[in-house]
Amino acid sequence: MNLFDPSHYLSDELSDLKHSFGLHQHINQATFFSPTSNSLLDHVYTNDANLVGNVTYLSPLGACHHAVIRCSVNLQPTYIKAARRTIWQYSKADWIKANHNLLQFNFSDHQDADSAWSSFHGTFMQTMYECIPQRTIKSKNNDASWLHTELRLLIRKKQTI
């Protein structure tokens, strides 16, 4: 597709896609030369303008009408540390102590609903931290927090079918 030709039926669609996904086109000169016209046929899109640099347009080889394009690609791998998150161990919770602590809360000590809620929320969270053990884990591959071992096994099973 010739990007120099705005009358091409795909030109507007390609331009809209490029802008909606925040893509950068690195080739911006003609790359195909014919006796009647020059066209931009090569497309190199990235979401980071710094990934491709030093774009050089060389003359066509032999009888070919297509320019040789040379560029450098900056592909430094980025490593994402495994995210740490806290999980609650509900099976080891002291529910009797939690119920006792929450029953001690008196809603009538508060003037309005907002202060009652704020106070209850603080009491509730403090009680949960005291009565439910937590442990910190590393998420594998930054998976979603709801993707637990059982789901991961079901996904693997489905992929092998």
Tell me what the mean pLDDT of segment 81-104 comes to.
91
In a 13 Å sphere around the CA of 73, the CA atoms on its Cβ side amount to 7
Q: Crossing angle for the helix pair 95-103 and 113-131, nearest 10 degrees?
A: 160
Tell me the one-letter amino acid at 140.
Answer: K
Other CB atoms closer than 10 Å to residue 27's CB: what's the count?
19
Task: Give the residue extent of every domain in the chain.
Answer: 11-73, 84-152
What is the pLDDT confidence band of residue 1, given thresholds at 50, 70 and 90?
low
DSSP label at 90? G
Q: By the 8 A CB rule, do 145 and 87 touch? A: no
- Specify the residue for token string 């059982």: 150
Structure tokens at 96: 């009797």
- pLDDT tens, 124-139? 999 999 999 999 988 6
CA 76 and chain centroid, separation: 18
Q: In this predicted structure, what is the pLDDT of residue 77?
A: 60
- pLDDT tens, 45-81? 888 888 888 899 888 888 888 889 999 988 876 666 7
Structure tokens at 141: 């591959």
Other CB atoms closer than 10 Å to residue 100's CB: what's the count?
12
Span of 32-41, 51-60, 90-99 with lowest mean pLDDT: 32-41
b (16+ CB within 10 A) / e for 11-22 = eeebeeeeeeee
